[in-house]
């Protein structure tokens, strides 16, 4: 998870502990309801270090009509004064500090700040990993034109991925992946996961039913989502009973109205993530096609229900439970054998 994503995930946990509800929105815009029922719409700005006065004044100077929620590891006295005056809203993650509308809503617990350490940096190769996933899952050669159309990227970016690729080779009908087991293991070893900002929830129903309820709630709100982890693997290659539900959603939602209770990142039964990886939706739609052929036109017409099998495999490997490795190997074998379509 990238540094900004970790900070924002920690900020969301602090808002929950401070009883400030996130009604809807995404990583850059949030609709909040503060204790007492007041609604607040904020523009979210995440800073890896406390922003300087010039940065804050520059931000406010160009956007006088917007209200800003600044998320940073720590609060300087300057930021604290602005927040106390209600000029900006503030979450200092490492300090567990939450100030909205000039009112200190700070929660007693500062556990959410524990995840801001050991953060990974650097630009992510989303397109390359997506191209590799598509070729590994395809049962027929795929052209550069088709790959670019499916992922909605330029042919130049696809060409850059394939040029000199150690496992990809060109045939007269398109590109294929050789040494598929080694290529798949390489993707799993390198791909960091979709990343993004996560919220955590608790429910009493079985994991599959929780996932279905959350997906239904997203659909009712007009928000796109796809299932992942055990619940997706249970369709691609059934093996173990899903113990936890995972979804990727296009924006943040409040799932309390769907029957869930807010939870922490230590104890939860449902995790909903707004992914950083923009290719999640396109490869999910490609995997949802009823035929083995990668058809860019069909991708645009498919409403995916679950992530592609390789992302599901990645998330199963990262899931808790002593049998996670065995469940992952079962799905890995189904991918290599082309049996994941079910």
Full strand arrangement of the beta sheet holding 270-274: 225-228, 245-249, 270-274, 197-202, 261-262
Cα dihedral across residues 169, 173, 174, 178: positive or negative? negative
Query: In sequence order, which ranges of the chain are alpha helices (DSSP H)?
Result: 3-17, 53-61, 77-84, 126-137, 144-151, 155-162, 180-190, 207-220, 229-236, 280-287, 296-301, 309-317, 324-337
> Can you give the pLDDT at residue 304?
87
SS3 296: helix
Q: Which of 106, 109, 78, 108 is nearest to 92 (CA)?
A: 106
SS3 assignment for 133-159:
HHHHHCCCCECHHHHHHHHCCCHHHHH
253 with 24: CB under 8 angstroms? yes
Task: Indicate the pairing of strand 21-25 with strand 39-46.
Answer: unpaired
Question: Within 13 Å and on the Cβ side, how many CA atoms surround 137?
Answer: 30
* SS3 category, 326: helix
Please report the pLDDT score of residue 115 as a whole number: 38
User: In DSSP terms, which residues pair with 33 in a beta bridge?
Assistant: 21, 39
With a CB cutoff of 8 Å and minimum separation 6, the contacts of 262 are 16, 199, 200, 201, 202, 256
In the prediction, which pLDDT does 323 show? Answer: 83
Computed from CA positions of residues 226, 228, 120, 137, in that sequence, does the dihedral angle turn out positive or negative?
Answer: negative
CB neighbour class for 156 (10 Å; exposed up to 12, middle 13-18, buried from 19) = exposed
Beta bridge partners of 169: 176
Q: What is the pLDDT of residue 122?
A: 45
φ/ψ of 293, rounded to 5, equals -80, 135
| 153/308 Cα distance (integer angstroms) | 18
Residues 6+ apart with CB under 8 A from 12: 22, 197, 198, 199, 252
Mean pLDDT of successive 10-residue stretches along the chain, which has 342 residues: 77 84 84 82 91 89 82 91 91 90 69 38 77 94 94 92 91 93 91 90 94 94 94 92 92 90 88 94 90 75 90 91 86 93 62
> What region, left, alpha or beta, does residue 252 occupy, with left being phi > 0 and alpha being psi -120 to 50 degrees?
beta
Backbone angles phi, psi at 278, to 5 degrees: -75, -10
**CB under 8 Å to 213, separation ≥6 — which residues?**
203, 205, 258, 259, 260
DSSP letters along 34-82, please?
-TTS-EEEEEEEE-SSPPPHHHHHHHHHT-TT--EEEEESS--HHHHHH
Cβ contacts of 113 within 8 Å, gap of 6 or more: 10, 73, 93, 94, 95, 96
pLDDT in tens, 199-246: 999 999 999 999 999 999 999 999 999 999 999 999 999 988 898 999
- The answer to whether 112 and 10 have CB atoms below 8 angstroms apart is yes
Q: What is the pLDDT of residue 292?
A: 67
């Amino acid at each position: 998870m990238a540094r900004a994503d970790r900070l924002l995930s920690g900020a969301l946990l602090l808002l929950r502990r401070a009883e400030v509800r996130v009604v809807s929105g995404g990583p850059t815009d949030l609709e909040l309801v503060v204790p007492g029922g007041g609604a607040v719409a904020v523009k979210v700005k995440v800073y890896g270090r406390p922003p300087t006065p010039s940065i804050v004044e520059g931000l406010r100077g160009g956007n006088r009509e917007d209200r800003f929620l600044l998320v940073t590891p720590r609060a300087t006295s300057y930021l604290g004064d602005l927040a106390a005056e209600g000029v900006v809203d503030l979450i200092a993650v490492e300090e567990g500090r939450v100030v909205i509308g000039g009112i200190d809503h700070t929660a007693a617990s500062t556990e959410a700040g524990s995840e801001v350490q050991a953060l990974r940096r650097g630009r992510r190769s989303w397109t390359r990993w997506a191209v590799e996933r598509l070729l590994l899952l395809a049962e027929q050669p795929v052209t550069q034109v088709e790959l670019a159309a499916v992922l909605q990227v330029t042919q130049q970016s696809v060409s850059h991925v394939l040029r000199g690729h150690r496992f990809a080779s060109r045939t007269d009908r398109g590109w294929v992946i050789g040494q598929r087991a080694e290529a798949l293991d390489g993707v799993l070893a390198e791909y960091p996961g979709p990343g993004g900002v996560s919220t955590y929830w608790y429910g009493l129903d079985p994991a599959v039913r929780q996932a279905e309820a959350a997906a239904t709630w997203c659909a009712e709100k007009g928000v796109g989502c796809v299932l992942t982890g055990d619940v997706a693997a249970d369709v691609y290659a059934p093996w173990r009973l899903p113990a936890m539900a995972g979804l990727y959603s296009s924006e943040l939602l409040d799932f309390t109205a769907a029957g869930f209770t807010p939870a922490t990142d230590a104890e939860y039964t449902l995790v909903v993530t707004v992914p950083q990886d923009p290719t999640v939706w396109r490869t999910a739609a490609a995997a949802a096609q009823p035929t083995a052929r990668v058809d860019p036109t069909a991708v645009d017409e498919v409403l995916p229900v679950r992530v592609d099998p390789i992302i599901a495999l990645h998330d199963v490997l990262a899931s808790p439970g002593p049998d996670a490795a065995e469940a992952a190997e079962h799905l890995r074998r189904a991918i290599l054998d082309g049996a994941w379509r079910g």
